[in-house]
């Protein structure tokens, strides 16, 4: 260990305390109790299947919002995927399968035009395109590519992002934490449905619905921060290995600013239509 | 009159969380680089710890540390790149005398990828041994040492690490 660096870290952080430690503790007791009750009910309800701990990779709240207009069937819960279990390092994994495709993401100028056409019903401002890691929607520690695209903008003052990338390769690999003393279990998605479902069991489960392009999920995370703030994720996983995420808020940024509307800057129906648009891609 | 089990459990956890909050927050802050994300990370960690609180946790301190680290790595995978702050605002309160030091330290840590950053923070702030850090991050001890050497080499541009200390870690011959 480098004593000077250790001392530097200690000195730099010695007077740092969370602003809202009481809120943190209150929330830990409330939300932690809820998870304890759910786990108890799940353990009682299952006969022989092992109860898995909360997965370290995700805490996703199942959408409680309305269905897209015209849909008759409720979301089909993604069944436990036939994923491959393989012990190994969660951060040094070799990566999952590479799904063949004859498509590629269009250039930045075209991306911006697509956004203006699809999401520009209101006052659209601050449009920017970034090249990000290959997934676009997540960042695997071993991923050094910049093939993903992340677009940010505001609609009528509410923030929005659209991310496009790949769910295969590194990003097909998830890991599951079954406890402190257990090795991290590696799980690999091989289909769009598995990738949508997280390729691992989450608690509570992610529910995915089919679309002509693949499988999608709708999530309303707890936006936190300001009272009345709302957040929406629509994630579409295509059969040829792409993932498109449409993420919107009713505030100017995450946990910043007062709500500018009672709903997110992009509606659930519009978010799904944007995710499903073929205009994000061109053939190679 | 017997105290209800739930009340006992809540009291024990509250005492633990209050005692560990500062240390958890320091680690979270060095990993996240900003106070709001650090608070979120500590909150999520404590939720998970309380969800398992009881006889299932042999060592709550170690369990909380492991949970915090793995939650942070998993959040990177879930949240995406647009979550990164454009500039560092490490603390919205009055800067304090350590403000300049914090900015320098964050600039050095920003040179690192997320796993290298975690290796450095766990090794130095948490006094973790190579084996302990390896277990936390599910790496081999050799991989931890390799990452540490690489990370320190990058950080020394920002931090004035002495020749002796760099030689001890294998950065310099």
Q: Identify which of B75, B11, B12 has the alpha carbon closest to the alpha carbon of residue B43.
A: B75
Structure tokens at A170: 């590194």
pLDDT at B171: 44
* Whether residue B105 has pLDDT greater than 70: yes
- C-alpha span between B102 and A146 (Å, rounded): 29
What pLDDT score does A77 carry?
33
Closest-CA residue in chain A for B11?
A: A29
Query: Which chain A residues are closer than 8 Å to B30 by Cβ?
Result: 9, 13
Poorest-confidence range of A19-28, A100-109, A148-157, B70-79?
Answer: B70-79
What is the pLDDT confidence band of residue B96, given thresholds at 50, 70 and 90? low
Q: Which of A7-11, A111-115, A136-140 has the highest mean pLDDT?
A: A111-115
Q: Does A47 touch chain B (CB under 8 A)?
A: no
A contacts of B59 (beta carbons < 8 Å): 180
Of the candidates A25, A56, A161, the beta carbon closest to that of B71 is on A56
Does residue B38 have a pLDDT over 60?
Answer: yes
pLDDT recorded at residue A185: 60
- Which is it for strands A158-166 and A242-249: parallel, antiparallel or unpaired? antiparallel
Mutate to test the interface with A, among B25, B80, B116 (most CBs of A within 10 A): B80
Task: Starting at the earlier edge strand, list the strands of the sheet with A173-176.
Answer: A84-87, A185-188, A173-176
Rounded Cα gap, residues A180 and B129, in angstroms: 17
Q: How much is the average pLDDT of A14-37?
A: 85
Q: Is the pLDDT of residue A60 over 60?
A: no
> Which of B35, B47, B139 comes nearest A91 by C-beta?
B139
Question: What is the predicted pLDDT for the residue at A190?
Answer: 84
Question: Is the pLDDT at A233 greater than 60, yes or no?
Answer: yes
Contacts of A149 in chain B (CB under 8 A): none
pTM, full prediction = 0.56
- Give the separation between CA A254 and CA A158, rounded to whole angstroms: 10
One-character DSSP codes across A35-91? HHHHHHHHHHH-SSSPPPPPPTT---PBP-SPPPTT--SPPPBPPPP-PEEEE--SS
Residue B33 has pLDDT above 50, yes or no: yes
Q: Which of B5, B43, B140 would you mutate first to test chain A, the one with the most A CBs within 10 A?
A: B43
Predicted pLDDT of residue A64: 26
Residue B133 pLDDT greater than 50, yes or no: yes
Within 8 A of A89 by CB-CB distance, chain B residues are 138-140, 143
Question: Among all residues of chain A, which has the CA nearest to that of B54?
Answer: A36
Cβ neighbourhood burial of A96 (10 Å; 0-12, 13-18, 19+): buried
- The structure tokens listed for A39 are 């786990």
Identify all chain B residues contacting A6, using CB atoms and an 8 Å cutoff.
Answer: 124-125, 127
Q: Does B151 touch chain A (CB under 8 A)?
A: no
ipTM for the whole complex:
0.80
pLDDT at A204: 52
What is the model's pLDDT at position A67?
A: 28
- Minimal Cα–Cα distance from A102 to chain B, Å? 25
Dist. CA B79–CA A160, nearest whole Å? 14
Q: What is the mean pLDDT of residues A238-257?
A: 86
Pairing state of beta strands A214-219 and A148-155?
unpaired
Q: Is the pLDDT of residue B83 over 70?
A: no
Over pLDDT 70: what percentage of chain B?
77
**Chain B residues closer than 8 Å to A27 by CB:** 43, 47
pLDDT of residue A65: 30
Arithmetic mean of pLDDT over chain A: 73
pLDDT at A19: 85
For residue B14, give the chain A residue with the closest CA. A25
Look at A1 and B127 and tell me if their CB atoms are within 8 Å. Answer: yes
* Residue A17 sits at the chain B interface (C-beta within 8 Å): yes
A226 part of contact set with chain B, CB < 8 Å: no
pLDDT band of residue B75 (cuts 50, 70, 90) is confident
Q: Name the minimum distance, in Å, from the CA of B81 to any CA of chain A.
A: 7
A44 CB within 8 Å of a chain B CB: no
Q: Does B64 touch chain A (CB under 8 A)?
A: no
Residues of B in contact with A202 (CB under 8 A): none
Closest partner residue to B51 among A25, A36, A177, by Cβ? A36
Residue B98, chain A, CB below 8 Å: the answer is yes
Interface of A with B in 57-86 (CB under 8 A): 57-60
Average pLDDT of the residues in A126-152: 75
**B23: pLDDT confidence band, cut at 50, 70 and 90?**
very high
Number of H helices, E strands in chain B: 8, 0
Count of C-beta atoms within a 10 Å radius of residue A37: 11
pLDDT at residue number A74: 28
- Please give the average per-residue pLDDT across A125-150, as a whole number: 75
pLDDT in tens, A79-122: 333 334 344 444 445 567 888 999 999 999 999 999 999 987 77
Helix (H) or strand (E) run with residue A283 in it: strand A281-283
* DSSP code, position A167: S
What is the average pLDDT across B14-25?
Answer: 93
User: How far B166 CA lies from chain A's nearest CA (Å)?
Assistant: 8
Q: Which residues contact B38 (CB under 8 A, 6 or more apart)?
A: A18, B25, B28, B29, B31, B32
**Chains A, B: CB pairs < 8 Å:** 199
Residue-level pLDDT at A245: 92
Question: According to the model, what pLDDT value does residue A134 have?
Answer: 64
pLDDT at A75 (0 to 100) = 31
Considering only residues A56 and B96, tell me which one the structure prediction assigns the higher pLDDT. Answer: B96
Supply the DSSP string of B54-105, one letter for each residue.
Answer: STT-S-HHHHHHHHHHHHHHHHHHHH-GGGS-SS----SS---TTHHHHHHH
Evaluate whether A49 touches A147 at the Cβ level (below 8 Å).
Answer: no
Classify residue A165 as exposed, middle or buried by CB count within 10 Å of its CB (0-12, 13-18, 19+).
buried
How far is residue B49's CA from residue A24's CA, in Å, rounded to a whole number? Answer: 13
Q: Name A283's bridge partners.
A: A103
């Amino acid at each position: 260990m480098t004593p000077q660096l250790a001392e530097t870290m200690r000195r730099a952080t010695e007077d740092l305390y969370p602003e809202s430690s009481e809120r943190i503790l209150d929330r830990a007791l409330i939300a932690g109790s809820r998870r304890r009750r759910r786990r108890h009910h799940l353990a009682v309800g299952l006969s022989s299947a092992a109860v898995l701990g909360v997965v370290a990779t995700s805490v996703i709240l199942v959408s409680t919002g309305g269905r897209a207009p015209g849909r008759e069937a409720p979301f089909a819960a993604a069944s436990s995927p036939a994923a491959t279990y393989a012990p190994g390092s969660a951060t040094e994994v070799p990566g999952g399968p590479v799904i063949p495709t004859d498509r590629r993401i269009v250039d930045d100028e075209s991306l911006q035009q697509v956004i203006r056409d699809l999401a520009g019903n209101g006052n659209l401002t601050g449009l920017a395109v970034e090249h990000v890691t290959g997934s676009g929607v997540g960042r695997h520690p071993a991923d050094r590519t910049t093939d993903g695209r992340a677009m940010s903008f505001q609609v009528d003052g509410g923030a929005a992002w659209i991310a496009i990338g790949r769910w295969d390769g590194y990003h097909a690999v998830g890991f599951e934490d079954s406890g402190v003393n257990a090795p991290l279990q590696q799980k690999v998605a091989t289909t769009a449905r598995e990738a949508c479902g997280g390729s691992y069991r989450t608690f509570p489960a992610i529910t995915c619905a089919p679309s002509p392009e693949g499988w999608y999920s709708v999530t309303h995370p707890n936006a936190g921060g300001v009272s009345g703030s709302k957040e929406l994720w629509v994630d579409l996983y295509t059969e040829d290995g792409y993932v498109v995420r449409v993420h919107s808020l009713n505030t100017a940024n995450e946990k910043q600013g007062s709500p500018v509307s009672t709903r997110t800057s992009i509606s659930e129906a519009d978010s799904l239509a944007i995710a499903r648009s073929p205009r994000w891609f061109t053939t190679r | 009159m017997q105290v209800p089990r739930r009340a006992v459990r809540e009291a024990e956890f509250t005492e633990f969380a209050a005692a560990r909050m500062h240390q958890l927050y320091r680690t979270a802050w060095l990993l996240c680089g900003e106070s709001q994300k650090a608070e979120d990370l500590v909150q999520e960690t404590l939720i998970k710890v309380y969800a398992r609180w009881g006889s299932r946790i042999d060592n709550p301190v170690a369990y909380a540390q492991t949970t915090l680290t793995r939650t942070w790595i998993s959040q990177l995978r879930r949240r995406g790149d647009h979550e990164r702050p454009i500039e560092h605002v490490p603390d919205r309160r009055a800067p304090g005398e350590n403000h300049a030091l914090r900015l320098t330290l964050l600039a050095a840590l920003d040179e690192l990828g997320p796993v290298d950053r975690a290796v450095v923070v766990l090794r130095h702030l948490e006094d973790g041994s190579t084996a302990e850090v390896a277990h936390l991050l599910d790496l081999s001890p050799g991989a931890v040492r390799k990452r540490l050497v690489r990370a320190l080499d990058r950080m020394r541009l920002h931090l004035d690490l002495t020749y002796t200390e760099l030689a001890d870690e294998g950065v310099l011959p």
